[in-house]
Amino acid sequence: MSKSPPDWMFKRLLRSRVQLVKITKDIIPPSSLNPSQYEEYGQTTTTGTTFTIKAEIQPITSQDIIDIPPGMLEIGDAIGFFQKEYVLEGSVYTIKSEDLIIAGGTTYEVQTITNFYQGDRVIYRRAYLKNKG
């Protein structure tokens, strides 16, 4: 069994700077409502926190679409390669579904994520990114 490549190798390969918008959904509690807002009870509010991370984003071309399951992505979407986790402002974050990635002026929504392993260690994460454009 071969050794896992060192982390610095993947950090060097993932060199593009992109924006990660971590999406948080919260349910509106009844104590925060006044009587005129009762129709919002139980609704969710969505907030986002933006971070700059290093990743590799590859737009889908007509040649790439052949290898992707039908209906998953289309031309104009992208595949993103990410570190297994990011330490940002003292907290550890991972890429999750519904997060947003802003790369090259295009906003993508993370659809599905696949971990790639060597042995029992996660080496990197690949995500299908849907163009929100």
What is the value of pTM for the model shown? Answer: 0.78
- Of 12 and 61, the structure prediction assigns the larger pLDDT to 61
Instruction: State the amino acid at position 108 in one-letter form.
Output: Y
For residues 79 and 58, what is the distance between their CA atoms, to the nearest angstrom? 5
For residues 131 and 111, what is the distance between their CA atoms, to the nearest angstrom? 10
What are the structural domains, with CATH classification, of the chain?
7-131 (2.40.10.270)
Q: Give the tens place of pLDDT for each residue, 5-37.
A: 566 666 667 788 999 999 888 776 666 555 555
What is the pLDDT averaged over residues 76-98?
90
For residues 103 and 106, what is the distance between their CA atoms, to the nearest angstrom? 5
Instruction: Compute φ and ψ for 38, nearest 5 degrees.
Output: -60, -25
